Each structure stands twice: as C-alpha cells, then as structure tokens.
Amino acid sequence: MSSSPGIKTTGTDVKLWIMSDVHLESTRGWDLPAVHARPEFDVMVMAGDLITRMERGVKWLLERVTDQPVIYVSGNHEPYGGDIDRTVEKARRAAHGTNVFVLQDDTKRIGDTIFAGATLWTDFNLFGNRRRAIGIAADRMNDFRKIRMNEYRERFRPGYALGRHQHSREFLERQMRKPRGDAKLVVVTHHAPVHDLGYLIAPPEAEEKFSDEEMLTAAFRSDLSELMRPQPAVDGKGPLRPANIWVHGHTHESFDAVVGSTRVVSNAKGYGPWPGQELTWDNPHFDVNFVIEV
C-alpha cells in the first residue's frame, strides 16, 4: 500500500489519538487543540457522534487534521434527520481520496495495523430480557424517531438496529478469524461492547429488579466479551484472535480496561459546552490529548 508522510508502516508501535461524542451540533466554543498543542500521534480515531450529517464531520476533520490518517465511524447521531445508509454514503464520497477513512462494516489497513469499524448498535440483551429492553428503547430514545431508512421511506426501529448489530458482530468475528500474521487489529465501534462494570452481567432473574432507566443501558451496551478471548477454529473457520484494542464511544464516559486479551478504551466528551457556559461537558474525565499505543 502507499503511505502518506508521517505514517508508520512497519515495525513500531502506532500512537492512536482517540476521542468520540464530540457532539458539535450541541457544542459552542470548543475545538481541537492547535497543531502545536496536540499530542504526538500516528492515527486519529473518531468513534462516532462527531456531528449530525456525517459528511459535515468529514469536512470538519479534513480542515483540522491534514497530516495523518483519521478513522471515523458513524455514531447514532450522525444520521439524525437523514437516512441511515445515505448518511454513510455521503460521508464516504466526501472522504474519498483524502486522509479520512469512513468505516462501516469494513476495514482499513495502515501499515501493520488493521482497523475494523462499525456503528455496532446493540443486541438489547444486556440484562437477559431483550423484549423489554426494545420496548423501552422504542419509547424513550430519539434514535427511533429521528433516523430514517430505506431511502427515507421508513422510520428506523429497534428491530432494525438489532439486525445491524448482528451483521456488525458477524463482520467483526470474521476479521478476528482471518489470518493476519504479525498485523495488529484495532476495532472501532460507537456502541459499547462491554458492561459498564467490565464484563460482569447480572443473572437473568435479577432483571425484574431493574428500573426502566437502568434497562435503557441495553440500548447503549452489549456484552461482546466472548470476542475478547481466544477461541478455537470451528466449522471451517480459523481460530479467533481477539483485537489488540477495542475503541468505543456512546456512553459519554471514560473507560480503559483489559477484558480477556483486549484493551477496551473510550474517551468520550459528551454534550457541551453550551452558549454562555464555561468550558465544561458531560464527561469531566475527557482528555482531548488522549493517546495510546498499539
């Protein structure tokens, strides 16, 4: 593959500048640091919810990050007011031939690192009662009022989100079962692949004790810790080698833990600052210069 200036292609750790949930549509007075104040990085990873209308997010990134590649996946807010598939198509057209790579159930190899990206959505089964979780999400989440699909003809509903989750999960497992030699694998999703307590899931019988607010967590997270542990070959598929790093967003929290053999990381800013407000936002632990090595 061809390389852009400054991109490491072999042999050394790659520094990832990670963030998500910038929510430019709900932000005033915030921006990336000036070039001289930024951390040293090789690839920027934007794990969704940068701005509604994803092509605007591509433009914003191209204006600010000109010398290194950027991996960008759609969050749940990018398609607000639009068609979920057209949103990604427009963003891909805007990014074509540039240093921004829009990933949706596909990969981009940069040097010795493979990036696999997807929105992921969720399986609504975090607490063992998918039907209840879907009903709560349908009633309470803007995602299922503000997103269209099928060329704008249909409203995006939880059942469709579940189908897309399953498709993305299968895609990610295929990548983990493909031979990749010495290459490293970084998964980038918007929705979270682990419970907020790592991978500790309450037993199904406990679900009746959860409030609707607590059950809504199942629309933000799935338990995909199974994909973070090596598995043997099955049904003609190769053995599963988990990703080295799994980056996610959506929760408006910071997270950094090793689950199985995968480091799971989130550095989400969240909403704010608002007009007339001090420079504060949802996640007080958000670090605009957060970098890790893979």
pLDDT in tens, 208-222: 678 899 999 999 999
Enumerate the domain spans of the chain.
15-293
Residue-level pLDDT at 206:
54
Of the given ranges (51-55, 90-94, 235-239), which has the lowest mean pLDDT? 235-239
**Where does residue 77 rank: exposed (0-12), middle (13-18), buried (19+ CB within 10 A)?**
buried
Tens-digit pLDDT profile for residues 108-118: 999 999 999 99
Are 290 and 44 in contact, with CB atoms under 8 Å apart? no
Q: Quickly state the pLDDT bin for 12 (edges 50, 70, 90).
A: confident
So what's the pLDDT on residue 9?
45
Could you tell me if 39 and 291 are in contact, meaning their C-beta atoms sit under 8 angstroms apart? yes
Residues 49, 20 contacting (CB under 8 angstroms)? yes
What predicted TM-score, i.e. pTM, was given to this entire model? 0.93
Give the pLDDT confidence score for residue 216 in this predicted structure: 94
pLDDT of 209: 75
Minimal CA–CA distance to 242: which of 204, 199, 200? 199
Residue 83's pLDDT is: 98
Average pLDDT over residues 56-64: 98
Residues 61-92: tens digit of each pLDDT: 999 999 999 999 999 999 999 999 999 999 99
Q: How far apart are CA 294 and CA 268, in angstroms?
A: 19
What is the DSSP-derived secondary structure letter of residue 257? E
Query: Dihedral angle at the C-alpha atoms of 267, 156, 168, 53, nearest 10 degrees?
Result: -50
Can you tell me the mean pLDDT for 246-263?
Answer: 96
Distance CA 233, CA 250 (A): 32
CA distances from 284 to 7, 77, 138, 195, 278 (A): 31, 21, 29, 20, 13
Rg of the chain (C-alpha set):
18
Residue 205 has pLDDT above 70, yes or no: no
Fold of 15-293: Purple Acid Phosphatase; chain A, domain 2 (3.60.21)
Task: Please report the pLDDT score of residue 72 as a whole number.
Answer: 99
pLDDT band at 2 (very low <50, low <70, confident <90, very high): very low
Q: How many whole angstroms separate alpha carbon 69 and alpha carbon 57? A: 14
Looking at every residue in the chain, the average pLDDT score rounds to 92
